[in-house]
Structure 1
Amino acid sequence: MPDSPAPPTLASRILAPFADPVLGTLVIATLISRVGRGIFLTVTVLYFTFIIGLPAHEVALILALASAAGVVSSFAGGWLADRVSARRLLVWLSAADGVGLIVYVFAGDFASALVIAVCVGAIEQAANATRAAIIARAFTGERRVGARAVLRTVTNLSIAVGSGIGALALVIGTAEAYRAMIVGAGVAYLLAVTQLVRLPGSVDAPRAALAAPVTTATGSTDAVASARAERIALRAHSPWRDRRYLLLTALSAVFGMQFGVAEVGVPLWIAQDTDAPEVLVAIALILNTVVVVLFQVPVSRGTHDLRVAGRASAIAAWLMAGACVVYALASGVPAWAAITIILVATLAHSFAEVLSQAGGWGLSFELADPVRAGAYQGMFSMGFSLGAMCAPIVVAATALEHGLLGWVALGAIFLASGLGTWAIARSAARGPGPAASTSAPTDTGSVSVVA
């Protein structure tokens, strides 16, 4: 009997993404740019507050309007990625993003900070949608979800490194230190552009016509009529006409508010309603990062299959609902108990995050019309941006305002959206059509959360 092949070594698994020219390029660019993102996220709010001198309500308004700009630009980025070179579009957007970050050092009042933040927020989300369109075209099936998982793992690692670098500005505390860090963040984005230019032209939308050329009575091609027919054919493939995909996007946007729970709800809950020390906020963030880095890739395997993606979404729904209830239990108990409860809830929340992301990626790719990959990914990214914009309001109006009952209501929202996503996946897997046929059931077993 022949010897079975040896399992891949850790080094070979780490280097595997670099073997693919598209994924390798995206990984290196993400490593560089997301370090800059981590730096920027660490210093932004305090830069607005302590260096520019803006009050808290103006800072909140700036962040909200920047998120709102991202909602619109997400779809625009995907829409453009179907009509122009996605590679060139990503290069220009990433370069503009880097320049936009550097321009922050010239902000001196509310108006200038608002204009810069809105422009940067719009550019950032348009670039994210374009990147998703590139992944949708460059890979198929399981490799698409795997690429998203690898890039998300790299993103978390890089942001963690960038956050540590950005913390130096907080320690030094001078305006010069803050501005130097912001310039460094922008430079990181610009350095990443030097890698993005290496993307091959194959990531662009195919130029094959969707409609037959219109000819005149003499047999020549009518360019104006042919272009009009092409536009009509493109509109027929629009995600705005796909009710199933619209519903998937809406449900994913609702579940995406779980990021707002981690970024807004849990820190304020710990500080205001529990006896746990505030340093627990950082510990919870580190625990979440560890879970994402270790489990996002293995959990994502097989979620190109609609049934597996739906099952991942259902498990995520129950875990997130449970995490909300457990978070609530940390109030009114001794500090040691509150710490234990928060960490248990964070663990459940973190696995809900990686499972929901894996399931959402699989469904967003497999249920999309490949003719309009950019527009569909732009639509899905737009939903995520909308969820991120609404999350602080929803979390504050439920959990932070009403305590236990609010946390239960928030958990019910996540449960309903996650199970709704599972229902869409289950229906699509049973029904005819491209979505069902593009995801052959290669693995319909239970979703694994171990490597």
Structure 2
Amino acid sequence: MFFSGKFLPASGAERTLAGTTLLSSMGKGIFLTAGVLYLTRAVSLPAVETGVLFSVAGLVSVLAGVPLGRTADRFGPRLVFWCSLATSSVSAFAFLLCRGYADSLFVVVVATSAQAALLVARGPVINRIATGKPQELRAYVRSVTNAGIALGAAVAGWAASQDTAQAYRVLVVVCGFCFAAALLVALRLPQLAPLSAERASRWAALRDRPYVVLSLIDGVLSIQYRVLTVALPLWIVTATETPRWTVSAAVVFNTVLVILFQVRVSRGIDSPPRAARAMLAAGLFLMLSCLAVAATAGTSGSTAIALLAFAVTVHSLGELQQAAGGFELSNTLAPPHALGQYLGVFGMGMGFAESFGPALLTWLCIGWGWPGWCLMGAMFLAAGASAGPVVRWAGRTRPAAQAEPQPA
């Protein structure tokens, strides 16, 4: 059994990973929610320059994914995991030293790259310590991640309500201590021997064309992570007459669904063909969600609220399917001796989505109105539908033992 109780994993190593994930995710939730506010309100940087700063940092972290993954393969994922937590803590405290644009850019680049390293190293750690199916532990860790981010966002909400430089500085200190506490817990992880990275060429993952295409497909689907935090709030405010509380209600409802159902959904997605079907289902659900949001244009009252509730529900179903499918494809189609490097490449798709997704969603869904939502839905569907042929292509280009479906 994966769970020894109702909520906790069975083994001590898995519980250690869950604990450090909860603490580090709280720090990440604070960073995501209040990082921009700190630089604009406490450091007094212009809002536009701050947005560019975070975009540049996001691109740097994307490009760092492959070398970070190779480092995890060569020196062991546990060491990179520890270093990423330590760097995240130090960079959080370093925000207190920011006085201008250049030093703020440096700190944000370091902090964002440390988060990228954390994700790259966590994948191999999960695969090595899982006592049951790795996909179940990945799903559990994702549920814990969402819970931690939600808690961090709630803490950041206190600082936002105070809206003073002192409150934001206190928040930075809390963020730094979250990562430091996560590191202390992570020190209990068992020794994980380095992989034989010499067997893989330095750029093997980038030359694996099916894998790179799958990372781009996952990247397109990953734009959905910004729908509920960027496009939907702007749409509710500008194109509907629904109550403003629906903005926060949508995010909370989505978070609860992911926490409750990610493990259950991921349980049956244990082979590349099943993962491809999950990506197709994700595309379908996300398209339906976009169409439902488009239908709220000009509506008000209970009709608009009902449509938004339906949209958030099917969006959450799409998110669950995409996360499970992406987990399985990124890990199963990567050679074991270069898993970190391959996960670094796969993460580039989501990195690009996080960097360019908000601008694309704003341009299409807000600038074009309901036709833009329909076009976005079509993009999600096309990405999900293309996963199946690319997975079959990937199966033809790697060893049979690695490509053939795992037993259910």
The normalised TM-score by structure 2 is 0.94
Aligned residue in 2 for 1:259: 225
Q: Does 1:39 align with 2:17?
A: no
Aligned residue in 1 for 2:175: 185
* Residues 348-357 or 20-29, more deviating: 20-29
Q: Does 1:279 align with 2:245?
A: yes
CA contact under 8 A between 2:41 and 2:164: conserved in structure 1? Answer: no
Aligned residue in 2 for 1:166: 156
1:308-356 deviations in Å (ceiling 9; x for gaps): 2122111111010111111111111124322221221111111100110
Match of 1:56 among 47, 50, 61: 47
Structure 2 counterpart of 1:390, one-letter code: F
Aligned residue in 2 for 1:397: 363
How many angstroms apart in 2 are the aligned matches of 1:200 and 1:50? 42
Match of 1:105 among 96, 105, 111: 96
CA contact under 8 A between 1:74 and 1:385: conserved in structure 2? Answer: no
Match of 2:73 among 70, 82, 100: 82
Aligned residue in 1 for 2:402: 435
1:11-60 deviations in Å (ceiling 9; x for gaps): 71312x1x323322210101112122222323222222222222221121
1:277-336 deviations in Å (ceiling 9; x for gaps): 222110000010111011100000021222221221111110101111111111111243
Q: Does 1:234 align with 2:229?
A: no
Consecutive aligned runs of 4 or more in structure 1 exceeding 4 Å deviation: 8-11, 426-432
Work out the percentage of aligned pairs sharing the same amino acid.
33
How many angstroms apart in 2 are the aligned matches of 1:339 and 1:153? 26
Structure 2 counterpart of 1:307, one-letter code: P
What secondary structure, in the 3-state scheme, does the structure 1 residue paired with 2:368 have? helix
1:178-231 deviations in Å (ceiling 9; x for gaps): 1011111111101111121222223x3335xx8xxxxxxxxxxxxxxxxxxx4x
Cα deviation for residue 150 of structure 1 reads 0.6
Structure 2 counterpart of 1:148, one-letter code: R
Aligned residue in 1 for 2:5: 12
Cα deviation for residue 441 of structure 1 reads 4.0
Aligned residue in 2 for 1:424: 390
Aligned pairs for 1:200-215 (under 5 A) are 200-202=190-192, 204-207=193-196
Structure 2 counterpart of 1:155, one-letter code: T
How many angstroms apart in 2 are the aligned matches of 1:99 and 1:9? 35
How many angstroms apart in 2 are the aligned matches of 1:260 and 1:298? 24
* Residues 43-52 or 157-166, more deviating: 43-52
CA contact under 8 A between 2:195 and 2:338: conserved in structure 1? Answer: no
What secondary structure, in the 3-state scheme, does the structure 2 residue paired with 1:199 have? coil
Aligned residue in 1 for 2:342: 376
Gaps of 5+ in 1: 1-7, 211-229, 443-451
Match of 1:197 among 187, 193, 196: 187
How many angstroms apart in 1 are the aligned matches of 2:64 and 2:396? 34
Cα deviation for residue 236 of structure 1 reads 8.4
How many angstroms apart in 2 are the aligned matches of 1:374 and 1:50? 38
Aligned residue in 2 for 1:145: 135
Structure 2 counterpart of 1:169, one-letter code: A
How many angstroms apart in 1 are the aligned matches of 2:309 and 2:29? 23
How many angstroms apart in 1 are the aligned matches of 2:26 and 2:317? 24
How many angstroms apart in 2 are the aligned matches of 1:288 and 1:131? 24
Structure 1 pair 428–119 and aligned structure 2 pair: CA distance change class (3 A): closer
What secondary structure, in the 3-state scheme, does the structure 2 residue paired with 1:385 have? helix
Gaps of 5+ in 2: none
* Residues 67-76 or 290-299, more deviating: 67-76
CA contact under 8 A between 2:285 and 2:318: conserved in structure 1? Answer: yes
How many angstroms apart in 2 are the aligned matches of 1:237 and 1:106? 37
How many angstroms apart in 2 are the aligned matches of 1:428 and 1:76? 23
Cα deviation for residue 9 of structure 1 reads 12
Cα deviation for residue 427 of structure 1 reads 5.5
Cα deviation for residue 237 of structure 1 reads 8.3
CA contact under 8 A between 2:72 and 2:79: conserved in structure 1? Answer: no
How many angstroms apart in 2 are the aligned matches of 1:394 and 1:169? 29
How many angstroms apart in 2 are the aligned matches of 1:357 and 1:122? 22
Aligned residue in 2 for 1:346: 312
Structure 2 counterpart of 1:54, one-letter code: L
Structure 1 pair 176–143 and aligned structure 2 pair: CA distance change class (3 A): same
Aligned residue in 1 for 2:235: 269
How many angstroms apart in 2 are the aligned matches of 1:429 and 1:206? 23
For these two proteins, the number of residue pairs brought into alignment is 407
CA contact under 8 A between 1:399 and 1:410: conserved in structure 2? Answer: yes
Match of 2:281 among 294, 305, 315: 315
Aligned residue in 2 for 1:91: 82
Aligned residue in 1 for 2:147: 157
How many angstroms apart in 2 are the aligned matches of 1:188 and 1:317? 35
Structure 2 counterpart of 1:150, one-letter code: Y
Structure 1 pair 434–30 and aligned structure 2 pair: CA distance change class (3 A): same
Aligned pairs for 1:291-306 (under 5 A) are 291-306=257-272
CA contact under 8 A between 2:219 and 2:350: conserved in structure 1? Answer: yes
How many angstroms apart in 2 are the aligned matches of 1:434 and 1:294? 33
Aligned residue in 2 for 1:410: 376
Structure 2 counterpart of 1:253, one-letter code: G
How many angstroms apart in 1 are the aligned matches of 2:305 and 2:317? 19
Cα deviation for residue 412 of structure 1 reads 1.1
The normalised TM-score by structure 1 is 0.85
